Amino acid sequence: MAFQCVVVTPERQLLDESITQAIVPGHDGLVGILTDRAPLLMKMGLGPMRLDHANGSKSFYFVEGGVAQMKDNKLTILTNEATPASEIDAESARAEFAEAQARRATDESTAADREKQMARARAKQEVAGKK
């Protein structure tokens, strides 16, 4: 059984269609969402998002931050970034990771920024591999 999924970024509405399952990156790990799930409001993290469509196909996105709400069989995702796997270049993601890894951390703030950039690049590589 399917439910409605809407994905919105600051630039545009990326998606509004019926899906059978969503696996979204919460701030503390991946969360699976199915039809008739209890109401949910969660803070989103950084990572891959998988949407399973009613026709059996799957689509993958890189998402970063935002919130997700599941209520009355409608999943609404408001995120800072949602990039389809088809728009992510694996080679660019590898270069982004290497660049972040090469940066020197001089204090806690730059160390945290470096870790976030590395996590972002790793997640992009993972999504790019699922085209």
Provide the token pair at 123: 């997640």
Q: What is the model's pLDDT at position 103? A: 85
Is the pLDDT confidence value at 108 over 80?
A: yes
Band (90; pLDDT cuts 50, 70, 90): confident
| pLDDT over threshold 90, residue 52 | yes
CA–CA dist 27, 101 (Å, integer) = 23
Task: Report the CATH fold assignment for 3-85.
Answer: ATP Synthase; domain 1 (2.60.15)
Per-residue pLDDT tens digits for 2-46 = 999 999 999 999 999 999 999 999 999 999 999 999 999 999 999
Q: Are 91 and 70 in contact (CB under 8 A)?
A: no
Domain ranges of the chain: 3-85, 88-128
DSSP-derived 3-state class of residue 126: helix
Note the pLDDT of residue 131.
58
